[in-house]
Amino acid sequence: MDELLLRSIVPGVLGVLVRRGADFAAAEDAVQDALIEAVRVWPEGPPRDPKAWLVTVAWRRFLDATRADAARRRREELVEEEPGPGPAPGTDDTLQLYFLCAHPSLTPSSAVALTLRAIGGLTTRQIAQAYLVPEATMAQRISRAKRTVSGVPFDRPGDVSTVLRVLYLVFNEGYSGNLDLAAEAIRLTRQLAAAIDHPEVAGLLALMLLHHARRAARTAPDGSLVPLAEQDRGLWDTGVIAEGVRILQAALARDRLGEYQAQAAVAALHADAPTASETDWVQIVEWYDELARLTDSPVVRLNRAVAVGEADGPRAGLAALAELDGALPRYAAVAAYLHERDGDLERAAQLYAEAARKAPNLAERDHLTRQAARLNSCPQK
- State residue 73's pLDDT score: 52
Q: E strands, the chain, where?
A: 175-176, 179-180
pLDDT of residue 311: 97
The per-residue pLDDT for 189 is 93
Helix axes of 259-272 and 199-212: crossing angle, nearest 10 degrees = 30
pTM of the model: 0.81
Pairing of strands 175-176, 179-180: antiparallel
> Mean of the per-residue pLDDT values for the chain?
87
pLDDT over threshold 80, residue 82: no
pLDDT at 361: 84
128-142, 148-162, 242-256, 257-271: least confident range? 148-162
In the prediction, which pLDDT does 1 show?
A: 56
- pLDDT bucket at 152, cuts 50 / 70 / 90: confident
- Given a cut of 90, whether residue 348 has pLDDT beyond it is yes
Residues whose CB is less than 8 angstroms from the CB of residue 350 and which lie 6 or more positions away in sequence, other chains included:
336, 372
User: Would you place residue 162 in the very low, low, confident or very high pLDDT band (cuts 50, 70, 90)?
Assistant: confident
Most confident range (mean pLDDT) of 43-47, 117-121, 262-266 is 262-266
User: What pLDDT sits at residue 91?
Assistant: 47
Task: Return the pLDDT at 75.
Answer: 44
pLDDT at res. 108 = 86
Single-letter amino acid code for the residue at 103:
H
pLDDT digits (tens, 9 = 90+) for 19-40: 888 888 888 889 888 888 888 8
Residue 381 pLDDT exceeds 70: no
| Cα–Cα–Cα angle for 210, 100, 190, rounded to 5 degrees | 25
